Amino acid sequence: MERKNLLTQASAKRASPERVISRRDLIKGSAALGLAGLMPGLISTPAAARLLYGQAIASWTDGTNEEPTDQALASSYNNFFELGTGKSDPKDNAHFLRTEPWSVRIEGEIAKPGLYPLEDLLAGRTLEERIYRLRCVETWSKVIPWVGFPLADLIRRLAPTSRAKYVLFESIMDPDNLPGQRRPALDWPYQEGLRIDEAMHPLTLIAVGMYGEMLPAQNGAPLRLVVPWKYGFKSIKSIARIRFQETQPLSSWEAKQPREYGFYANVNPEVRHPRWLQATERRLGERARIATQMFNGYGDQVAHLYVGMDLSIHF
């Protein structure tokens, strides 16, 4: 691919070497810390006892071998309009998000609807650490070690009926506390949706943590969706309601700008977006742009979900 070659060339002539080194060192530093955490002799908590919400974290070997984005970067450059539209707003306004206690209303075409406290959703579950690429439609990307469990595990336990064709997710609605919800940036509460087979896909994750810690508010505490082959806005944050239904839900961005945001929102460098060229992306912490991969590089695992669909129409 000619484009790819040119991009690699560009990354060879990075702007200022000192800067790159300092950022690299940062990343290495955090990686070293992570390693120390895994070595029982070095730090008081041995690897086997890495816990989150009282659950052991099992590592997942099938993920990407890419180096995770620096933890501080991953939690200081966010889109979370409930906490403000600027990139640093979510972190600055993180304290406005009240996460305790937290329950998720689960309803619709399932055998076991109800209001589920977070603790119940987590009880008896093995949490996994999974390193996924996250690609935002605004053409920046991160590599994040999420901690969570496959959404499919939860769905199976809820016993959906045959009419559960789609899943609607809804974020917290709390305009009294969330500054962003007092402005009409979007039609609140934020909603997203998946087709049931997408929701059941083994890659689709409910995350409750990242970098071995609880999710920070700005990254969608206390629980969020992670769908790594779709643009980031599909991975809804701070989930308060899940609804199983027969009809295709209308997601918030789709409702606001249907020409720009479709229901599927699969990462696709070929489909034109009026605001951003989707062929390349900027990995946070790196200077040069890299080529964006179809389905964010998860094509082998998810392309079959869209066989026979014209992805330029179902974008």
Partner 1 sequence: MPVKAAKSTIRLLRLALFIGMSLPLLGLALAWHQDRLGVIPEEVVLHSLGRWGLYALLATLALGPLFRLTHRLEFMMIRRQLGLWSFVYITAHLLAWAWLELHWVWTVVWLELSQLLHLQIGLFSWLLLIPLVITSVPLLQKALGMPRWRWLHRLSYLCAAGGILHFFLLARGFRAELWLTLLALVLLIILRLLDAKWLSYKAELQVRREQTPSRK
- The vertex-195 CA angle with 207 and 208, nearest 5°, equals 5
Q: How far is the CB of 122 from partner 1 (least distance, A)?
A: 31
Binding string, residues 277-296; x marks residues near partner 1 by CB under 8 A: x-xx-x-x--xxx-------
73 binds partner 1 (CB under 8 A): yes
Applying CB under 8 A, the span of 12-20, 55-63, 169-177, 216-224 interacting with partner 1 comes to: 12-20
Q: How far is the CB of 275 from partner 1 (least distance, A)?
A: 7
Rg for the chain (alpha carbons), in Å? 19
In the chain, DSSP assigns E strands to 51-52, 55-59, 103-108, 114-117, 127-135, 140-150, 166-171, 191-195, 205-210, 213-214, 224-226, 239-245, 280-283, 290-291
86/78 Cα distance (integer angstroms): 8
Residues 81-100 that bind partner 1 (CB under 8 A): 81, 85, 87-88
17 binds partner 1 (CB under 8 A): no
54 binds partner 1 (CB under 8 A): no
Residues 19-38 that bind partner 1 (CB under 8 A): 19, 22
Phi-psi region of 131 (alpha: psi -120 to 50; beta: other; left: phi over 0): beta
The conformation of residue 315, written as its DSSP 8-state character, comes to -
Contact assessment for residue 8 and residue 291, using Cβ atoms and an 8 Å cutoff? no
Q: How far is the CB of 23 from partner 1 (least distance, A)?
A: 9
Binding string, residues 121-160; x marks residues near partner 1 by CB under 8 A: -------------------x--------------------
Per-residue tokens: 57: 């974290």
Q: How far is the CB of 86 from partner 1 (least distance, A)?
A: 10
**Annotated binding-site residue? 165:** no
Place of tokens 């979007």: 186
Q: Which amino acid is at 281?
A: E
**Annotated binding-site residue? 236:** yes
Label the pairing between strands 290-291 and 166-171.
unpaired
Per-residue tokens: 30: 């955090």
Per-residue tokens: 52: 């989150």
Q: What's phi and psi for 117, nearest 5 deg?
A: -65, 150
**Interface residues with partner 1 (CB under 8 A)?**
2-3, 6-7, 9-11, 13, 15, 19, 22, 73, 76-77, 81, 85, 87-88, 140, 183-186, 272, 274-277, 279-280, 282, 284, 287-289
Report the binding-site residues.
78, 136, 171, 219, 224, 235-237
Report the binding-site residues for Mo-molybdopterin.
78, 136, 171, 219, 224, 235-237
